[in-house]
Amino acid sequence: MSLGVNIDHIAVLREARKINDPDPLMALAICAQSGADQITIHLREDRRHIHDEDVRRIIENSVLPVNLECSINPEIIDIVSTLRPHRVTLVPEKREEVTTEGGLDVCAQYEIILNTIKKLTENEIEVSLFIDPTDEAVDISCKLGAQWVELHTGTYANVYAMRYSSLSHSHHAIDSLKLSRKDLNSRLNQSYEDIVNAANKARIFGLKVAAGHGLNYQNVTPIVQIDTIEELNIGQSIIARSIFTGLQTAVSDMKVLCQR
């Protein structure tokens, strides 16, 4: 299982002060030495963390492939096409969201996604679609001609937190008071099965399969067991742990969990 480390949160800390420190560029060598296989960054329309100049410097200096997440906004796609990362992962984006909240609406946005894939492919950039783990989303992603899908694991991660986190550690635990343990178990099984089924189906269609969102040192292990998924993209939990352990240990601990 490959590990993409999402380093946006280093830029989140920098932007809290609007200064130059910490510099996400400093993470590149540490991630590479600690077993990461890819660097993932998200160039948001509002530039709330990663800036265009970060993307340029990261692509120029990274020994690992760079997976750039972005929306289908044509202005962003123009910029991204000139920056030429190894891969672009198209994600839905809303100004008011704290983080990406779900997969792309590949049905409603079929035409614009199709044109976006065409443009990126012409620029020799691999394309991944961040989708919810449903049959329909996988079918349409295949028709759209993407090389990769990244399955959204947010629902699984939320239910996992409701089922296993203690009250003091999870916002989700408050909701869990309303659900019985049996309900939570069945929701967790369902959300996991959805990921397994979508990954298997995508693989049968010849798509490469990644997964991510909300994965952490507790909930990642069952996902690693899904052998049709070949890559995980993980940010928050790794950067959060790095505050206490350093980035090298945080990345290598996660890489150990990614071994099948």
Which spans of this chain sit near ligand PXP (rule: CB under 6 A)?
A: 6, 8, 42, 69, 89, 91, 99-100, 130, 150, 212-215, 233-237
Which of 9, 42, 49, 152 is labelled catalytic? 42
Q: Which residues, in sequence order, are CB contacts of 189 under 8 Å at separation 6+?
A: none
49 tagged catalytic: no
Of 186 and 218, CB closest to ligand PXP: 218
Q: How far apart are CA 142 and CA 207, in angstroms?
A: 7
42 tagged catalytic: yes
Cβ 180 to ligand PXP, closest distance in Å? 27
Q: CA 259, 133, 50 angle in degrees (round to 5)?
A: 70
Cβ 9 to ligand PXP, closest distance in Å? 7
Of 97 and 186, CB closest to ligand PXP: 97
Of 91 and 137, CB closest to ligand PXP: 91
Secondary structure of the chain as H, E, C letters: CEEEEECHHHHHHHHHHCCCCCCHHHHHHHHHHCCCCEEEEECCCCCCCCCHHHHHHHHHHCCCCEEEEECCCHHHHHHHHHHCCCEEEECCCCCCCCCCCCCCCCCCCHHHHHHHHHHHHHCCCEEEEEECCCHHHHHHHHHHCCCEEEEECHHHHHHHHHHHCCHHHCCHHHHHCCCCHHHHHHHHHHHHHHHHHHHHHHHHCCCEEEEECCCCCCCHHHHHCCCCCCEEEECHHHHHHHHHHCHHHHHHHHHHHHCC
Cβ 182 to ligand PXP, closest distance in Å? 27
Which of 9, 49, 69, 152 is labelled catalytic? 69
Q: How far apart are CA 129 and CA 74, in angstroms?
A: 16
Which of 9, 49, 152, 213 is labelled catalytic? 213
Cβ 6 to ligand PXP, closest distance in Å? 4
Of 22 and 183, CB closest to ligand PXP: 22
Cβ 227 to ligand PXP, closest distance in Å? 20
Of 170 and 236, CB closest to ligand PXP: 236
Indicate which residues carry an active-site annotation: 42, 69, 213
